[in-house]
A = this chain, B = another copy of it.
Amino acid sequence: MGKNGKNGNGKNGGGKNGKNDPAGWLTPAVTALRVGAVGPIAGFDADSTPGFSGSRELGEQLLAERGEVLADLQELLYANGRAGDNRSVLLVLQGMDTAGKGGIVRHVGGLLDPQGLAIKGFGKPTPEELEHDFLWRVHKALPPAGRLGIFDRSHYEDVLPVRVHNLVPQSEWEKRYAIINQFEKELVESGTTVIKCALVVSKAEQKARLTERLERPDKYWKYNPGDIDERGFWDDYLQAYQAIFDRCDSDTAPWFLIPANHKWFARLAVCELLISALSGLDLDWPPADFDVATELERIRSLDD
């Protein structure tokens, strides 16, 4: 990030390596939140803030500061994409209903230039999508060069609700873990940095959030009676999530577990993970593909 011409100084939050240890973080998010570090999802504390010792107030202040760092990195990525670099970043968001996936898109994505974002929400597959293999719609939504893609739900739906409800036979969904690993491997090899975040709320917090959606007419549209039915499968979902962590977490396409009872922490954590991912690209401003002196000469000779 020190290469970023506009903001080389003073915006890294004071960390020693300028990446993941701003004040408040005892352990970088990328280490503290990795699924292997936090243990099984079944016993996971959705109220916790792994790696972070600061208050909500500090967290919110950090998000504003680090959001600027992230925005600068996004601009570098976009600039390089425009200059022919085919790299991109993909953030995969999963989580139970009310876990706050949309809030991450709004409040972390909202820190960035929308031109450089490629956001895709995956709902129940359409009839057309069902006529293709489960990755068909995913391929079509991958971020173009230079973009930060965000998937609000993803191909993991095809081993989460699909597994919990056996929407396809087990013999079929069982194969999908390997197919997903192969897909993500190829994606990474072709220049896309992949990070995957599962947002976790507690059952009590989910109940509170569902209740709020029913008590406020401006939230009715977010409520779906089916959410309560799905809650009945809570433990099956935990099992299905654990399976994707056990089988689809790798250093090239890592899974992170984001405790999401505290929205401010979930947002800060995802922001830090994105900064990590983008910093890892070691981007610099693309060099001019024209002769600067000649062009300056041309411009200076112009009439106003």
A positions within 8 Å CB-CB of B? 4-6, 79-80, 82-83, 102, 105-106, 109-110, 112-115, 117, 119, 121, 150, 152, 202-204, 207, 210-211, 214-218, 220-223, 225, 228, 231, 285-288, 290, 292, 295-296, 298-300, 302-304
Residue of B nearest to A79 (CB): B221
Residue of B nearest to A82 (CB): B221
Residue of B nearest to A7 (CB): B218
Q: Check if B119 sits within 8 Å of A220, measured CB to CB.
A: no
List the 3 closest pairs (A to B, CB-CB), nearest first.
A204-B304, A5-B218, A79-B221
Known pairs A79-B221, A211-B296 / 16 extra A-B pairs, C-beta < 8 Å: A5-B217, A102-B115, A109-B113, A110-B110, A110-B112, A114-B119, A115-B119, A115-B121, A207-B299, A207-B302, A211-B300, A214-B292, A214-B295, A220-B288, A225-B298, A228-B298
CB distance from A25 to the nearest CB of B (A): 26
Q: Check if A220 sits within 8 Å of B105, measured CB to CB.
A: no
Counting every copy of the chain, the complex holds 2
Q: Give 24 pairs: A residue, B residue, CB < 8 Å, sorted on A.
A: A4-B218, A5-B216, A5-B217, A5-B218, A82-B221, A83-B221, A105-B113, A106-B113, A106-B114, A110-B114, A112-B114, A114-B114, A114-B119, A114-B150, A115-B152, A204-B304, A207-B299, A211-B296, A214-B292, A214-B296, A218-B285, A220-B287, A228-B298, A228-B299
